[in-house]
Amino acid sequence: MLGTDMKIAEIPKDDLKDYSKADPYAEWLKKEGVKVHEDFYFPSLSKLELGPWPRKGGDGAVVHIANRHMPNDCHVVEIKPGGKSEPEHHLYELAVYVVSGRGATTIWQDQKDEKGKQSFEWGAGSLFSIPLNAWYQNFNGSGREPARYIAVTNAPPMMRLFGDHEFILNCDYMFRGRYSGEEDYFSGKGKLFKRRIWESNFIANAPDMRLYGWKERGAGGINAMLEMANNNTKSHISEFPIGTYKKAHR
């Protein structure tokens, strides 16, 4: 019910335009010049068509589920034989799963501290997460075969939140509470918590890692909920026996 002192503004009779503004994330993709795939289903990311993405050390593509409200995207990257990516850091989280090939990643926090760099090797099935805004560089360990990985990121909402590519990609703040150069950070060690939570920063072979019973989710199902690199982007691994299915959820 309207109060007696309320005044309703008269809408102009002239046609009003719909409000719109540029999407900072879409602008960044355009600036990168990377190939983009948008759909609800991708049969095989190992066979996804890629295009040139020199900064990543070879070819790549960005994958979207066709829903602009999704908080993540997926970068599919193939480092050429003997190739390497350019050093980079950014204010969005990134979790990497190696599809094929072998190589290494070098991580460091302070761009001015060469001694603070540390490296770890990975192969097909490896899973790891880059600490927020830490510098990193990926290397293909083979001179004959490409190395392909997928990286799930939260770049879309971060780009849209700040609306400034330079801030996202060139902020020099070091999140030492997440990573401060610990020697064993990517050693593969981990710790199990209640409710099947496994905390680790590097999993050498995710398909073979130990999983734990979760009968409430479905008959015979096993699972591990992953906490990696103190990041907020979550992941989990589940497995179900042949002929069974997990309970419907959303």
The DSSP secondary structure of 29-40, one letter per residue, reads HHHHT-EEEEES
Strands (DSSP E) contained in the chain are 35-39, 51-53, 58-65, 73-79, 94-100, 102-108, 118-123, 127-130, 135-140, 147-153, 190-193, 197-200, 202-203, 212-213, 222-227, 235-239
pLDDT at 193: 97
Q: Which residues of the chain have pLDDT under 50?
A: none
Give CA–CA dist 211/198, Å, rounded. 9
Q: How far is CA 96 from the centre of its chain?
A: 6
For residue 181, is it left (φ>0), alpha (ψ between -120 and 50) or beta? left
pLDDT at 2: 57
- Give me the half-sphere count of Cα atoms (radius 13 Å) on the Cβ side of residue 225: 9
SS3 letters for 149-170?
A: EEEEECHHHHHHHHCCHHHHHH
Residue type, 58: G
The SS3 call for residue 123 is: strand
Q: Structure tokens of 161? A: 């939140």
Give CA–CA dist 190/207, Å, rounded. 16
pLDDT at 217: 78
pLDDT at 1: 55
User: What Rg do the C-alpha atoms of the chain give, in angstroms?
Assistant: 22
Residue type, 180: S
Architecture, CATH, for domain 24-170 = Sandwich (2.60)
- What DSSP state is assigned to residue 171? -
pLDDT at 3: 61
pLDDT at 115: 82
What predicted TM-score, i.e. pTM, was given to this entire model? 0.91
- What DSSP state is assigned to residue 66? S
| Neighbouring C-beta atoms of residue 110, cutoff 10 Å | 16
pLDDT at 119: 96
pLDDT at 176: 93
For residue 27, is it left (φ>0), alpha (ψ between -120 and 50) or beta? alpha
Of the candidates 97, 80, 105, the one whose C-alpha atom is nearest the C-alpha of residue 45 is 97
Give CA–CA dist 16/62, Å, rounded. 36
pLDDT at 224: 97
Where in the chain are all domains bearing CATH 2.60.120.10? 24-170
Give CA–CA dist 245/250, Å, rounded. 15
